[in-house]
Each structure stands twice: as C-alpha cells, then as structure tokens.
Amino acid sequence: MSDMAIAEEACLAVKDRAPAVPQSRLAVALIELALAVGSFGIGTGEFAIMGLLPNVAQEFNVTTPQAGHAISAYALGVVVGAPIIAVLAAKLARQTLLLLLMAVFAIGNVVSAVAPSFESFVLLRFLTGLPHGAYFGVAVLVAASLVPPNKRTQAVARVMMGLTVATLIGTPVATWFGQALSWRIAFGAVGFMAALTVVLIWLFLPKDEVHEGASPMRELGAFRRKQVWFTLGIGAVGFGGLFSVFSYIASTATEVAGMPDSAVPMMMALFGSGMIVGNLVGAWFADRNLMATIGGVLACSVVVMTVLWLTAENPFMLALCVFLVGCSVAIGPALQTRLMDVAADAQTLAAALNHSAFNIANALGAWLGGLAIAAGYGFAATGWVGAALAVAGLCVFGLSLLSDQRSAKSSLSRA
C-alpha cells in the first residue's frame, strides 16, 4: 500500500470512530478544554515529584536518589501501559475509555497521597503511570476528529497545551504547596484535577460508536508498518536532547553560569514558556508542511544545543537557549499527526506509543547527560549530548524520508 493510500485510510479511521461532530465551535472548545484539563493534571503529577523528592525521601527515611525510583516507576508505567491498554481496549468507545483512564489516574494519585510506605508509594506511582500514554493517545485522536484535516495538528496542540502549561504553572504551584505543607497534598490535588476531568469529559464529549472491525489484532497491525517505527524512533531519540538539558538545568544555571539559586525558577519559567510557544507555533507550521516541520525542529535543536554548550557560562545566552530548547517541544504534535497518517486503522495503539517514545527520550536524555557530567565534562556538556541526540533523530528522519521515496517509486512502477 502506498503512503498516500495509508494516509487516506488513516483519515477515514479517525473519522469513523469520531463522536458526532458538534455543530458549534463552543461545543468543540468545551471538549478540547475537558481533554486539556486532563493533560494539565497528568503533566502536573508527572513533573511535580521532581521538586518534591527531598520531602518524599525525608518522610520515608530513604535517600533522595532512592526516592527517584518513584519517577522511574512512573515512567515505566507509561511505557508499559500505553501499548497494553491501547490493544486491550480496542473495542471500547473512546469516551468510555477516556473516562476509565482518568478515573484510574485519579484513584492512583489519591491513594499515592496516603501511601503508608515507600515500597507501596513506588508501586502506586507505577500503577498511576499506566493510563498516561493511552489517555494522550485517545485524547488527541478525539481532538483531531473534530476539525478539518488541515487543522488536526493545531487541535492536537490545544489538547497538549495542558501538559505545557503544567510545566509553567501547575508544577511550580504543586511543588510550592508540597514543600510548604506536605507532598501528599500535591498528589491529592492532582487526583482532584483528574476527577474534574472525568466530570468534564462525561458532560461535554458525546459517546462514540465503536468502529466495525475494531479488535486487538487490528491495533497490533501498527507494528507491521515501517513508518510507525521510524516516527517512534524520531521521538525516542531526537527528543532526548530536550530532557538532557532540562534534567540538569538548575545545576547548569548555578554552577556554570554563576546564577543565584533564586534565578532557577526564572529559568524553569523560561523553559515552560518556550514549550507553550513551540507547541502552538509548531502545530501551525505542521498543518502546512508536516515533514518539513519535523526536520526543521530537529535541525534547529542541533544548533540551539550546540550554542548552549558553547555559551552556557553567559547567563543571558543560557536563558535564551533554555527558552529555545523548550520551543523544541514543537516536534511533539507534529509526530503525533505523522503517526495518524502512517498507522492506517491502528490509530489508538500508534497514538499511545508516541508517549511511550517520549518517556524513552526522557530516560535516555537524562541518562546520557548524567554520564557526560560524571565523566568530568561538566553540566554544559548536556548541550552537546542534546545536539548529538538531535543529529541521531535527523538520521532516523532521513531514513523515513528515504523509505517514503522508495515506496512512492515502487507504487509508480507497479502502476
């Protein structure tokens, strides 16, 4: 099957399982708002723990690195849960699935807030991470089904906006309350946001019909498509540079640029602002030229990461680079739309796997950045680690384009 045919089949697959398209822009906006509230809650829950690790460690009488196992457990839950849930829930209506996923996420956070021991807390973080990827995967498919094909990526970006806003507002607020009162309150608040999402989805999202022929085997068909693997590879490798820099940005600011500790929140705010700008602007470009946007973001990442490495001692240059690194999140909605185009009728699994790939990028970027620092290259070395990962992502992107060209030539020759 040619890539053009796959893309056409994908658009039909998205529309086939869509809820009845609302007649008013307000109805669409309310659905997107409900989905974005869910992504805001997930983003806050995922990142707030990073600032609360010392508090968790103190209460459970473990070291801060040991408390970090809770972060790893959550990420593992995302990676494992996304494909399993997407396959097993293939015959569920999307509204029903979203309600179930957010209910599990809400319960997981509330129970995490009252965990009696460190071992139970780590286990609960793993279980809470299970619905993460599947929720985002289904949510963006619903959003894309509500708008014309040439505006899909912008609809995806509006849902993902909740995640980017969480880095700017939700995470700092939750961290502040967690430090001032109790880290348990932060998780309780995330549970409340998830419960609110359940109510909003139930109120505003019409129930859809399950498409005839939907099955776990059909979803597993995503694994037979080369372009699905290429797209996931771009995200898992090329997106790792952002996490390489972000994971160590506080130490880079204070120990390399000589900035005071009080400047770290400003750097985090710049990073979050960059994510919001990149999410919106990148989606606008992607709806006009999808593949050029993906390649362009990767190429810009190489330049920005390299400049960061070379100029990290200058506070002003570091601040600019941190903002621009945040902007590289623009590749997220673009890759999500690309997966819609190449997954054909295995939409749910492919969309959910995108978030598994991003969590792999998170782990890979932080790990490689840590290796460079431990080897004595300093915190600024996260810049060249990020640049190398972006180059690797460009290589996978190039292989994807080459495969597309070969498929197109093969289709022409058969015609």
Burial class (CB in 10 A: 0-12, 13-18, 19+), 176: middle
Whole-prediction pTM: 0.79
Residue indicated by tokens 């185009």: 341
DSSP codes of every residue in 288-341: T-HHHHHHHHHHHHHHHHHHHHHHTTSHHHHHHHHHHHHHGGGHHHHHHHHHHH
- The span from the CA of 218 to the CA of 220, in Å, is 5
Superfamily of domain 221-415: MFS general substrate transporter like domains (1.20.1250.20)
Give residue 8's region: left, alpha or beta (phi > 0; psi -120 to 50).
Answer: alpha
Domain ranges of the chain: 18-210, 221-415
- Residues recorded for the chain: 415
- Asked if 18-210 and 221-415 have one fold, the answer is yes
- How do residues 206-237 score in pLDDT, each as one tens digit? 887 766 655 566 666 666 778 888 999 999 99
- How do residues 268-309 score in pLDDT, each as one tens digit? 888 888 989 998 899 999 999 999 999 999 999 999 999 999
For residue 388, the surrounding DSSP H or E stretch is: helix 381-414
- The span from the CA of 26 to the CA of 130, in Å, is 32
**Tens-digit pLDDT profile for the chain (415 aa)?**
444 344 444 444 444 444 444 557 888 899 999 999 999 999 898 878 877 877 888 899 988 768 878 887 888 898 888 888 888 887 788 899 999 999 999 999 999 999 999 999 999 999 999 999 889 888 988 998 888 888 888 888 899 888 888 878 887 788 778 878 888 998 999 999 999 999 999 999 988 776 665 556 666 666 677 888 899 999 999 988 888 888 788 788 888 999 887 787 788 888 888 989 998 899 999 999 999 999 999 999 999 999 999 999 999 999 999 999 999 999 988 998 898 888 777 777 777 888 888 888 888 888 888 888 888 898 899 999 999 999 999 999 999 999 888 877 776 666 5
DSSP state of 345: T
Residue indicated by tokens 């956070």: 109
Quick one: tokens of 364? Answer: 């890979």
Q: Nearest Cα to 220, choosing from 397, 93, 352?
A: 352
pLDDT at position 110: 96
- The span from the CA of 293 to the CA of 286, in Å, is 5
Cβ atoms of 386 and 223 within 8 Å: the answer is no
DSSP state of 170: I
Superfamily of domain 18-210: MFS general substrate transporter like domains (1.20.1250.20)
